[in-house]
Structure formats: C-alpha cells, structure tokens
Amino acid sequence: MFADRADAGRQLASCLERFRGDDLVVLGLPRGGVVVAAEVARALGVPLDVLVVRKLGHPAQPELAIGALGEEGIRVLTPGLAPRNQAEEEMLAKVERREAEALRQRVARLRQDHPRVDLHGRTALVVDDGIATGSTIRAGCLVARALGAVTVLIGVPVAPASVVRQLPEADEVVCVLTPSRFQAVGLHYRDFTQTTDAEVLALLGVR
C-alpha cells in the first residue's frame, strides 16, 4: 500500500537505481504518472518529461491498443493488429481523427511550447501510477521507441502479475507490487486523488 503517488514514486525509484545514468530520461504519462515520474527523476538525478500519447483503440474493443499517436506526428501500429480490410481501415481512420484532436489539445495544455527532451540514442523510462490492462503504457512504449529511444523501460508502482509478464513493447519492466488478485490501481493507494493539469505543469517546470 502506498500513501500517495509521491510515496509510490520514491519506492519505485529505490528499485531503479541500477538504471541511473546520463542517457536515462524519465517519461511520465499524464496525469497521475507524472507525479510518480517526478519522484523517480529527482531520486535518480535524471531529466523528467511528459509523454503525451493517445492510444488507438480497436473500434470493436476500445481497450485493445492497435496503435498509438504521439507528438510530432508520430503514428505507430501494433504489429499483427493492423487493419485487414477497407472497412477496418475506415473505422481506424475515424478513431485516429478523434484521438489526434484529443492529443493536440492535451499537448497544448501540458507542454505549452516547452521543448520535448530528445530521446534519440537514449534510454526511456516510461512511468505511470499503475497498470490495469496495460494498453496505455504499451502505447507509450511504442511512441517512445518511435521518437528515437534505443532502450525502453517501464516503471510502475503496481500492476497485475499476469500483465507484467506480457509487455513485449518494453525491454524490461520494474514493478514494486504485483498482486495476484488485482482489482484496481487506486485500491493500492491511501490517497489516490485525481492529479490536475496545474500540478503536472508545476512538476514539469512549465510556466
């Protein structure tokens, strides 16, 4: 059990010491993941950035990530899940238009012209406050790699053991708690109050 996201970040950081290095960049998924990521970046003495990503959910199964959209026009599709015919391509295009607009709005709110940390040739540590199905963080890994990261790691405070074993998009996954009986991320926090955009901006140093 974690007191709050900051406590979770400190506990996660203690499990990540071996990755400390000049090439490491910590990427928090908004919003709650940025709070955890900020503690990790502070403890390891490495750069912090936000990874703004929108999952492209399958039209018939929204929780199934068939790809992702990221900043600077990044578009990636999950291998083996690309559209198989024209009808599926049209449905994906509709999903993509909606998510592209949502991405644009979120980038405008959270980055505010603050330059993105260059990931080319670096190790990206993608951090969230927990994993349920894994679809969002898998999408984040795809985008981080497409942005140039040579190694992509996942760091989270809590996730189902079954999901942690099935995250091939990451080179390695570090998780503090992996309960065999998992119901929801928030149940592992005493304080799981929703993080605001203002809090994210303050942590990123965006004014």
**Angle ∠(14,16,22) on CA atoms, nearest 5:** 120
Residue 42: count of CB within 10 angstroms of its CB: 16
Fold: same for 5-52+120-204 and 54-110: no
Residue 144 has pLDDT above 80, yes or no: yes
Integer Cα distance of 92 and 58 in angstroms: 7
Taking a C-beta distance cutoff of 8 angstroms, is the pair 27, 44 a contact? no
Residue 2 has pLDDT above 90, yes or no: yes
Task: With 0.85 as the threshold, say if the pTM is over it.
Answer: yes
Domains in the chain: boundaries: 5-52+120-204, 54-110
5-52+120-204: what fold? Rossmann fold (3.40.50)
Integer Cα distance of 67 and 8 in angstroms: 28
The secondary structure element, H or E, covering residue 75 is strand 74-77
> Burial, 96: exposed, middle or buried (Cβ in 10 Å; 0-12, 13-18, 19+)?
middle
Q: Domain 54-110 in CATH: superfamily?
A: PRTase-like (3.30.1310.20)
pLDDT digits (tens, 9 = 90+) for 172-188: 999 999 998 888 899 99
Q: If we measure between CA atoms, which residue out of 19, 69, 62 comes closest to residue 44?
A: 19
The secondary structure element, H or E, covering residue 99 is helix 86-110
pLDDT confidence band for 207 (50 / 70 / 90)? very low
